Amino acid sequence: MKARVIVTLKNGVLDPQGKAIEGALASLGIKDVDGVRQGKVFDIELGQADAETARETLKAACEKLLANTVIENYSIDIA
Amino acid sequence: MKARVIVTLKNGVLDPQGKAIEGALASLGIKDVDGVRQGKVFDIELGQADAETARETLKAACEKLLANTVIENYSIDIA
């Protein structure tokens, strides 16, 4: 079973990397970009056949390792 | 207009970061994870109201800055 986990910064958390990308796009002549925020994506291959068990495994993975839940949100998408 | 760009490694390109995450999950007791590949996600706020123009802007941004098209794929999702 394949799953995709997306980890993004919470609103209000500063994102200097996103700001740098915004500046770089402007200097490359790409206009009309009002904001960029960068996050992480994890494409995960799971052995479980059951979606419910898979979701629990992924939730544990996010809480323990993939996301810093103080400043980041995560979303789990099971294909 | 909001858009999400996801940049992932092409198949066949080694992903040591993903491998490290896989090992870390196993050592945390999270089982049944058969593979992890890490990518990047960009949440972009655009000034354009027209989806077609926005897609062209984002395509240019990906080709010029956000993705290394030799080893990475990108997907553009306009909300």
Mean pLDDT of B58-70: 97
Mean pLDDT of B44-66: 94
3-state secondary structure of A39: strand
Q: What is the largest CA-CA distance in chain A?
A: 48
Mean pLDDT of B24-39: 95
| Interface ipTM > 0.95 | no
CA distances from A36 to A52, A61, A71, B19 (A): 33, 26, 17, 28
Q: Are A5 and A78 in contact (CB under 8 A)?
A: no
User: What does the mean pLDDT of chain B come to?
Assistant: 95
Q: Are A47 and B34 in contact (CB under 8 A)?
A: yes
Mean pLDDT of A71-77: 98
Give the pLDDT confidence of A13-50 residue by residue, as tens digits: 999 999 999 999 999 999 899 999 999 999 999 998 89
The predicted pLDDT at position A48 comes to: 81
From the list A28, A32, A45, the residue facing B46 with the nearest CB is: A32
The predicted pLDDT at position B59 comes to: 97
Q: Inter-chain contact B35–A45, Cβ cutoff 8 Å?
A: yes
The predicted pLDDT at position B3 comes to: 96
Residue B7: how many other CB atoms lie within 10 Å: 18
**What's A56's domain CATH number?**
3.30.1280.10
Residues of chain B in contact with residue A47, where contact means CB-CB under 8 angstroms, are: 31-34
Q: Report residue A67 as tokens.
A: 């996301």
Structural domains of chain B, count: 1
* Closest chain A residue to B48, measured at CA: A32
Range of the domain at B11: 2-78
- pLDDT greater than 90 at residue B49: no
Mean pLDDT of B52-62: 95
> Taking the alpha carbons of B44, A57, B22, A79 in that order, is the dihedral positive or negative?
negative
Instruction: Name B72's bridge partners.
Output: B9
**Amino acid letter for position B70:** V
The predicted pLDDT at position A16 comes to: 97
The predicted pLDDT at position A49 comes to: 82
* Closest chain B residue to A23, measured at CA: B65
Mutate to test the interface with A, among B11, B13, B37, B42 (most CBs of A within 10 A): B42
Q: Are A34 and B61 in contact (CB under 8 A)?
A: no
